[in-house]
Amino acid sequence: MSELLRALLDDIAALRRRREGDPVVIGICGSQGSGKTTLAAGLQTVLTQEQGANVAVLSIDDLYLPARERARLAHAVHPLLGTRGVPGTHEIALGLALIDRLTHCSPDARTPLPRFDKLADDRLPLSAWPEFAGRADVVLLEGWCVGARPQPEEQLAAPVNALERNEDPDGRWRRYVNDQLGGSYQALFGLLDRLVLLAAPDFDVVFRWRRQQEHALAAAAAAAAATGAQDSHAAPRIMTDAQLARFIMHYERLTRFILGEMPERAELVVALDAERRVRQISRRA
């Protein structure tokens, strides 16, 4: 078992003992492609096997607004809100309701968990959502901006990349995003009992990590189509490098801010190298 998994398992076990059986909510934050989903899946498996815990895994990506709702925002507020990712493009009320139900429902309850199809860029219908059985002992909430705080107003003035400079010259989009992050997102993140940060060495590696992720998504979709698990006529839509570079610019501002600000307050900071290997694990006292 990896050092990281063992450190997290020990922390969660100690937290559960202190909570005397009450459910705990663990947040996992990290840039695109940093390994959040893999870590959450590993934790779920080992927590179930070693601690007998009933573990629910939620990704903030699965809370993305449906394409039609983002199109409405793009028309009413700012065109850049048509692209999923930033605060303001998630249905946070759904996340709050899910965690409340998962941690308070009866042992025989079944809770549908939302799923978002990134290749189709839309939320799957309710009929395709998996169901979680019973009350969760541990909820793992993972996502690129989980636990993030809004930036100070003065930091919003200067654009951080060409997207902001050319498509948000007056800062209206980034201020809307920041305002949303300071609102209902803080209520969601306020439910966290622990915050874990998978810290990339710098923002420059994110493009390579996200490109690997994009190709993996396309390969999985192609494999599903080949086995009949997915419509074989629905070809996977993979972004070109140019499209991917522009897409990542939507995330750049907040990702850089998280890497600079969050290590001072996250309970566990995992410093990664460019190959996603663990360089150091730091605990906050």
Ordered structural domains, the chain, with CATH = 3-204+255-283 (3.40.50.300)
pLDDT of 72 over the 90 cut: yes
Query: 206: phi > 0 → left, psi -120 to 50 → alpha, else beta; which?
Result: alpha
Q: What average pLDDT is seen over the chain?
A: 92
Q: Give tens-digit pLDDT for 150-163.
A: 999 999 999 999 99
Query: With bands split at pLDDT 50, 70 and 90, how would you rate the model's confidence at 189?
Result: very high
Share of the chain above pLDDT 70, in %: 92
The dihedral through the CA atoms of 235, 35, 190, 46 has a sign that is positive
Task: Identify each DSSP E strand in the chain by its residue range.
Answer: 24-30, 55-59, 110-112, 116-117, 122-123, 131-133, 138-143, 194-199, 268-272, 278-283
- The region, left, alpha or beta by phi > 0 then psi within -120 to 50, assigned to residue 20 is left
The DSSP-derived string for 158-207 is S-SSHHHHHH-TTSHHHHHHHHHHTTHHHHHHTT-SEEEEEE-S-GGGHH
Binning pLDDT at 50, 70 and 90, where does residue 171 land? very high
Mean pLDDT confidence for 60-71: 97
For residue 53, the model assigns a pLDDT of 95
> Residue type at 275?
E
Question: Which pLDDT does position 196 carry in this prediction?
Answer: 97
Specify the pTM. 0.91
pLDDT at 24 over 70: yes
Cβ pair 48, 124 in contact under 8 A = no
Render pLDDT for 197-242 as a digit per residue (tens, 0 to 9).
999 999 989 988 888 877 776 666 677 666 765 554 445 567 788 8
pLDDT of residue 232: 46
Query: If you average pLDDT over residues 32-52, what whole number do you get?
Result: 93
Say what the pLDDT of residue 199 is.
96
Could you say which DSSP state residue 250 is in?
Answer: H
pLDDT at residue number 75? 98
- Does the pLDDT at position 147 exceed 60? yes
Sheet of 194-199: strand order equals: 55-59, 138-143, 24-30, 194-199, 268-272, 278-283
The residues pairing with 45 across neighbouring beta strands, listed in sequence order, are none
Q: Which of 260, 265, 216, 250 is nearest to 27 (CA)?
A: 265
Structure tokens at 8: 């997290």
Tell me whether residue 84 is exposed, middle or buried, using C-beta atoms within 10 angstroms of its C-beta: 0 to 12, 13 to 18, 19 or more.
Answer: buried
The Cα–Cα gap between 78 and 71 comes to 10
- Dihedral angle, C-alpha 35, 37, 39, 42, nearest 10 °: -140
Q: Which two tokens stand for residue 234?
A: 């629905």
Q: What's the confidence (pLDDT) of residue 230? A: 57
